[in-house]
Structures are given as C-alpha cells and as structure tokens.
Amino acid sequence: MDGLGRRLRASLRLKRGRWGPPQENLGEVVKEPERALEHCLPNFAGGQHFFEYLLVVSLKRKHSGEDYEPRIIYQFPKRENLLRGQQEEEDRLLGAIPLFCFPDGNERAPLTECPRETFSFVLTNVDGSRKIGYCRRLLPDGHGPRLPRVYCIISCIGCFGLFSKILDEVEKRHQISMAIIYPFMQGLREAAFPAPGKTVTLKSFIPDSGTEFISLTRPLDSHLEHVDFRSLMRCLSFEQILQIFASAVLERRIIFLAEGLSTLSQCIHATAALLYPFSWAHTYIPVVPESLLGTVCCPTPFMVGVQMRFRQEVLDSPMEEVLLVNLCEGTFLMSVGDEKDILPPKLQDDILESLSQGIKESQTSEQINEHVSRPFVQFFVKTVGHYASYIKREANGQGRFQERAFYKALTSKANRRFVKKFVKTQLFSLFIQEAEKSKNPPADYFQKKIREYEEQKKQKKPKEKTVK
C-alpha cells in the first residue's frame, strides 16, 4: 500500500499551478478551502464568459500498439502568445482533461453502437478555483466499428442544464460538419453569461436549415441550476437518500457504483447539492478514472463515483466506515450501520413526509429540484438557522462564534445531540468562518428560508390574554 499511497498522493496533490480532481491535501490542513459545485463556486450574477475551451477528445493507439489512450484532437480557442507561466498552467490543465473524458480505462475496441452519455467532472487548482468539464460522449458518424469521441466544454460556471443544451447544439452541428461548430462557439464565447432568470439569444447559420435563433435561459433560483435530482430518485428510495444525506452531513466516505457515466455524475452532484447551504470540502470525484481507483483507500472523507465494472476492485480494497451505494440495484453493499440514527427522528419524519407528498409528471426539472431540496434546506434552518445570533462582533468588526451557547439554545435534546456533532465538521466550520468575516448575512435562499421560519414561529406563539 505504501507504493500505491505515494502514487495516489503524487497524482492528486494540488501543487502550485497544477490542476487535478477536487481534493484536499491528504493528511494536511487545507489552507484554501475547496467547495463543491455551484453553491461553492462563485455566485455568478451574469456577465461572465460562458466557457474557456471546447475540446474534442478521442482514443488513439499507444505507441506500443496494444491499447488506446485519450488525446485532444480539437481545441477552441487556440491560445497564443501566452506568458511562460500561463502556458505551463494551460499545458497541465489540458493534460489532465483527457483522463476524465475517458475515466473507464484504455482497454477499448472500436464499436458499432455506443450509448450517448452526458456527464461532468471538476478540476481544482491550489488557490481553490475550479473548472467544470461538461462532456458528451458518442460515436462519430460513419459505418462499421468506430471509437467513441467526447465533446468537452471547460467552464468555471456551474449550470448543467444550460451546458447540456449547448452540447446538444454542438452535437447537431458535428453531424453536419466540424467547420460549423466554430462560428457557433465563437458567438457563444462573445455572449455574456445571463443573470438568473434571464435569457441570451444566439444567432447561428446551419447549411440547408438557414439561420436559427437559440435561446439559453438560466433558472431564476440559481442555487439549484447545477443539479437534476431525477436520477437519484429513480435509483434510490427516499429513506435511502436520507441515509446518504446523514452520512454526508457527518463527512463520511461515500462511494456510488453505477454502469453509466451520466447516472454517476448526476447522482453525486445531487447528493452534494442536498448539503446546501454547506459545501463538501473533501475529495469529490463524480467519476473516478481507473488509474485513480486507489482513492477509495484514503483515510480522509470522500464522495466518489465508480463504474460498476470496477465493483470487485472496490470491494477488495481495505476500507473502513464506508457507505457503498449500488445505484443499479438500489442497495447498500456496505454501511456503518447507524445511518438511520444520525439525524433527529422528528426531523427525519418531517423530511420523509415532505418528499412523499408526490411529484407530478407534468412538473419541470426546476420544480422537482425545488420539491426535493426544500425539506433538506428546512432541516438546516431548524437545526442551525439561528447561527447569526451567536456570532459576537468585536470592535474591529471581526466575528467570534459562540459554539456552546449556540447548541445549548436548542430546546430539543435530539436536535442538540446532532448539532454538537455537526459543529465539529468542516462543512460547518467553513460556513461559520465565512459568516464571521461578513457583518451581514448574504441575501440568499437559505437566509430567506430562515426569515420565513422565524415569522412562522412568531405567528404560532399564542397571544397573551389581557386580563381586564
């Protein structure tokens, strides 16, 4: 294991200017906290560039001639006249991407059929900045056996639904000619990323079809625009989702197994989104490349997705306190055993009751996301929503969190027992550190729900009777 550990640390440690999978430095304190996905990425109000690169990655034979390795065969835009440091950073970034476009290894053969898959990955730099890779894998047009190809858009913006639509447009143009992808992506690159609830319209010419107008709209509520809960609900029961949430809240090791890259990617993003307003700050790899399977041996918390073909390798790995989730069969292959007892019973019942109220077929993905997310946000409102009242400000404006008084303010013993554990997590610590720095709470969805809850409590208090 020593050799494996050295190779793993060498692969994942984020040195200055080096890109890799989101990962805390193993065994070390993270100086620059990492955040998971959109609610941890910058909150884009709009006006940013849509993307940095469009890449096409294909499999090419190795020099040995025995198997294949992924390589970039198309890049837009081509960067020129970069400074030496910028060129080195770009080379490292572009060198890491192919591995995540084909995470299922090099033992491939040309195919006549291949399922079309949409998935994503996240790369993190040492300064905490993140880039997301939005991928569409498919077989190129042609006859006979062919090797699959991946279209990958690299962006620092978390908005999966919107980028999936962009990949649809790229794929449509690829079926005609690679040449007409360029003007579409150039127009997209020149357009400003829309603010929440706003639309940007692009004009694009397609041979034999004429000029098309493509509308790209961001959801009004941007805290869930990076996720789609439907895959998670198709694979697991509400009770199982609640147990996974409980394990994540205590920052345990969680592994998801599935056949498809899309399923893995969507389910792990959905799980991380349930933690809002908190952010998973540990190892986070939606689809683990074959060469990084040693990640599951790490002693630190992680949330990773592994393809089912590597199931036996995972089961044979020495692991402790792991929740191993089989998304194909909707079962837990390994668990700690106390997952049903982590959260306060009354609040568990509240979440399940809210989730079981039903989702209609006619609901949009945004409405489904709101339906699933709401009870989990409400859970945090009820347990830690009073945090701002226990940050005492010094003369210089710096806040100091009063931890003991904070959890003792809870009247429910079950809630208090849970919160005493939760305040020791990095999830909570990073959140409170940000709150201590800011004199005013952010005007976000969580604060809105806290205010609504406080108003409801005031209205429920019985009015004092006046004795005449």
Residue-range domain boundaries for the chain: 53-194, 229-351, 365-455
Band of pLDDT at residue 126, cut at 50, 70 and 90: low
Task: Name the nearest CA neighbour of 94 among 48, 63, 53.
Answer: 53
Name the DSSP letter for residue 265: H
Mean pLDDT of 390-400: 87
Between residues 462 and 66, which one has the greater pLDDT?
66
> CATH number for the 229-351 domain, one of 3.20.20.70, 3.90.170.10, 3.40.50.11500, 1.10.1520.10?
3.40.50.11500
Cβ neighbours of residue 126 closer than 8 Å, sequence gap 6 or more: 14, 15, 16, 17, 18, 32
Q: What angle do CA 462, 466, 468 make, to 5 degrees?
A: 160
Band of pLDDT at residue 206, cut at 50, 70 and 90: confident
Band of pLDDT at residue 273, cut at 50, 70 and 90: very high
Between residues 329 and 293, which one has the greater pLDDT?
329
pLDDT at residue 265, rounded to an integer: 92
| Listed ranges 10-24, 329-343, 365-379; the one with the highest mean pLDDT | 329-343
Between residues 87 and 382, which one has the greater pLDDT?
382
pLDDT at residue 465, rounded to an integer: 45
Distance CA 264, CA 312 (A): 17
CATH T-level assignment (fold) for domain 53-194: Beta-Lactamase (3.30.450)
For residue range 309-338, what is the model confidence (pLDDT) as tens digits? 999 989 888 888 899 999 999 999 999 999
Examine the pLDDT at 45 and tell me if it is beyond 50.
no
Band of pLDDT at residue 9, cut at 50, 70 and 90: very low
Band of pLDDT at residue 86, cut at 50, 70 and 90: confident
User: Would you put residue 438 in left (φ > 0), alpha (ψ -120 to 50) or beta?
Assistant: beta
